[in-house]
Amino acid sequence: MNDTNASSMVLTRLADELASLTPEAKKAAVYVLENPLDVGVSTVREIAEAASVTPNTIMRMARQIGFKGYEDFRAPFRESIRRGGDFPNRARWLQDVRKSGSLGELYADMVQSALRNIEESFSGISIDQLIAAANAIWNSRNVFTLGVGLQNANAHNFTYLASTGMVQFHAIPRPGSTPVDDLAWANEKDVLIAITCKPYRTEVVEAVSIARTQGLTIIGISDSPASPVIRHADHGFNVSVDTPQFFPSSVSIIALLETLLSLVISVASEEIVDRVEEFHKRRHQRGLYLEEQS
């Protein structure tokens, strides 16, 4: 059972018991039923004040439907927000954790979510899928990696790493440009890697749509099989981006891009190794690396 279903079951149980509650407890229950998001981010006093009842009434209501107390009652709502609620409420939840002094719990949740994201993402991706995408990239004329907002840094990081041995990689949108303009002269010889997670960015979805009409091979990376960039992709990769924070995690996206690049190098011609070595040799010669003293 996921946490969204768990909070929904609490609301269903509360609605079923509504007729049997005392007038004050019923008033509290009606408030919870009409404002479920508030439960996960508010203390018992805050909920009581909003519902115009006493904190004891809230606790009696929770116990009447089978919970030990308010903290036990609101746990599914907190978890639902942490795992998939809207950004403002997830931010409030994070602040609530900080106020409670549970930073150790937050630390553990961050580590666990990072590990879980990578495991869940790669468990749904086959090596054949990655090899097919890697071959498309290597055999292309140009590779445009598109990410805006949070994903812009991921697109640039992938392009930077690839540029140590290859020249056909371009992170878009370029400064002062738009994704659509950057793809103006691209065609079936080119590849577009499009990255976006909920809420999906319109400029990325629009670029994918235009790229399809121009014949580009599209590699879509997103957080749902229903994402428009995956549904319209030739090679779609669904990644897990869950996090206790209020923004999507980039851990699995970075891991996927690094794995994809390693496979591109694997399917590339042998000259790629020489080019990477030459790239780093030039850096050493120009003093860009700190040389260790013997």
Q: What is the pLDDT of residue 175?
A: 93
CA dihedral 95, 99, 103, 109 (to 10 degrees): -40
Kindly report which listed range (42-46, 103-107, 260-264) carries the lowest average pLDDT score. Answer: 103-107
Surface-to-core class of residue 271, CB atoms within 10 Å of its CB (0-12 exposed, 13-18 middle, 19+ buried): exposed
Surface-to-core class of residue 106, CB atoms within 10 Å of its CB (0-12 exposed, 13-18 middle, 19+ buried): middle
Average pLDDT of every residue of the chain: 86
Determine contact, residues 237/125, Cβ cutoff 8 Å: yes
How many percent of the chain have pLDDT more than 90? Answer: 48
Asked if the model's pLDDT at residue 292 lies above 70, the reply is no
pLDDT tens-digit map of 61-76: 999 888 988 888 888 8
Question: Greater confidence, 273 or 184?
Answer: 184
- State the DSSP code for 200: P
Question: Which one, of 227, 221, 216, lies nearest residue 144 by Cα?
Answer: 216
Q: How many CB atoms lie within 10 A of CB 31?
A: 20
Surface-to-core class of residue 52, CB atoms within 10 Å of its CB (0-12 exposed, 13-18 middle, 19+ buried): exposed
Structural domains of the chain, ranges and CATH numbers in brackets: 3-102 (1.10.10.10), 116-285 (3.40.50.10490)
Determine contact, residues 212/186, Cβ cutoff 8 Å: no
Q: Which residue has the tokens 């609605």?
A: 15
pLDDT tens-digit map of 195-246: 999 999 999 999 999 999 999 999 999 999 899 999 999 999 999 998 877 7
Name residues whose C-beta falls within 8 Å of residue 9's C-beta, 6 or more positions apart in sequence. 1, 76
Q: How confident is the model at residue 14 (pLDDT cuts 50, 70, 90)?
A: confident
What's this model's pTM, rounded to 2 decimal places? 0.68
Determine contact, residues 98/107, Cβ cutoff 8 Å: no
pLDDT tens-digit map of 25-42: 899 988 988 888 788 778
Q: What is the pLDDT of residue 1?
A: 41
Surface-to-core class of residue 164, CB atoms within 10 Å of its CB (0-12 exposed, 13-18 middle, 19+ buried): middle
Name residues whose C-beta falls within 8 Å of residue 195's C-beta, 6 or more positions apart in sequence. 145, 146, 147, 151, 154, 155, 204, 221, 222, 229, 253
Determine contact, residues 266/134, Cβ cutoff 8 Å: yes
